[in-house]
Amino acid sequence: MTDLATRHEPVSDLFDRLNSAEDRQQYRLSDEQVAFFHENGYVSGVRILSDEQCDALCEQLQPLFTPDHPGREHWYEYHTNESPDPSQVLFHALGAWRITPGFHDILWNPAFTVPASQLLDGAVRFWHDQLFCKPSHHGGVVAWHQDYSYWTRTVPMAHLTCWIGLDDTDEANGCLQYVPGSHEWTLLPITGLAGDMNAIRQVLSNEQWEKLQNPTPIVLKRGEAAFHHPLMVHGSRENRTDRQRRAVVLNVVRDGVRSDSDEPLLQGVPAIPKGQPLDGTFFPLLYDPAKG
């Protein structure tokens, strides 16, 4: 199967194209939304996908749950269940943009790139994508963590995460949850991504742990998204409902972020020498507001 990473433009008609400043204007966040992001570390309820686009992505997602699907060689990581407990399933995979047209083209979706540029305050370069899916009845947790704890091989910290629900998400089926203001905490050590929601306790102060006891659930309609800061502490609880909870996560950086390692930044990707900016086949520039 062709590696779609070699294509640095949309390959389908699933999403709109930007043709003018007027086109961009309809996707911009309000000044109030941007201010809320900087104060709290996140902004939510941003419409990224239509119901029809969600349907198309879910159709392309379904075959990916079977490990021997075409294109499986293009994943950076692939876990049918990242949880250590088989009764709590967390499907987690990185690299869908290389495999299906929809997950490739969502990177160039202006409903995503325009607000991302506002929050990054600059041009948007791709870092990597993720799929986080919880089946009905036995969906597992995503433990409390900060994204940048996993990304210190890139500097400076000018990263942004966009979490997009492909299903309606609420507390019952394991929605995303944030600790508002935690983007101002220092960088925390990695304590694990799946299994134990309380693993982070060992690296928190008593005051931080107290704040973690009252997180904010991010209730979203399918197609809506939440953007968050790379130090935002976030996680999600199990899904015990009869509904699925599927999400695609787009991680980007402000253009100019550099490699801080001589090792490959992602599995199977050629190394970018330490000190050199992210660029090339696997880290395309998605949107530059200066160029439109």
Residue-wise pLDDT tens digits, 215-253: 999 999 999 999 999 999 999 999 999 999 999 999 999
% of the chain at pLDDT higher than 90:
90
For residue 21, what pLDDT is reported?
A: 75
Domain-located, residue 47:
yes
Least confident span in 24-33, 83-92, 152-161, 228-237: 83-92
- Is the per-residue pLDDT at 19 higher than 80? no
Taking the C-alpha atoms of residue 33 and residue 279, their distance in angstroms, rounded to an integer, is 30
160 inside domain? yes
Tally of CA atoms within 13 A in the half-sphere of 189 that contains its CB: 8
Q: How many domains does the chain have?
A: 1
Q: Which of 177, 208, 181, 148 is nearest to 41 (CA)?
A: 181
Task: Please give the pLDDT value at position 231.
Answer: 98
Residue 278 lies in a domain: no
**Residue 207 predicted with pLDDT over 90:** yes
Task: State the pLDDT at residue 86.
Answer: 86
Residue 15 lies in a domain: no
CATH, residue 67: 2.60.120.620
Cβ atoms of residues 41 and 93 within 8 Å: no
| Residue-level pLDDT at 243 | 97
Per-residue pLDDT, 158: 98
Percent pLDDT > 70 in the chain is 100
Please report the pLDDT score of residue 204 as a whole number: 97
Amino acid (one-letter) located at 55: D
Find the domain containing 99 and state its range.
28-256
158 within some domain: yes
Q: What is the mean pLDDT of the chain?
A: 96
Q: Is residue 177 domain-resident?
A: yes
Residue 110 forms part of a structural domain:
yes
pLDDT tens for 100-115 read: 999 999 999 999 999 9
Q: Which pLDDT belongs to residue 292?
A: 65
Answer whether residue 267 is part of any domain.
no
Mean pLDDT to the nearest integer, 187-203 = 92
Q: SS3 for the chain, per residue?
A: CCCHHHCCCCCCCCCCCCCCHHHHHCCCCCHHHHHHHHHHCEEEEEECCCHHHHHHHHHHHHHHHCCCCCCHHHCCEEECCCCCCCCCECEEEECHHHCCHHHHHHHHCHHHHHHHHHHHCCCEEEEEEEEEEECCCCECCEEEECHHHHCCCEECCCEEEEEEECCCECHHHCCEEECCCHHHCCCCCCCCCECCCCHHHHHCCHHHHHHHCCCEECCECCCEEEEECCCCCEEECCECCCCCEEEEEEEEEECCCEECCCCCCCCCCCCCCCCCECCCCCCCEEECCCCC
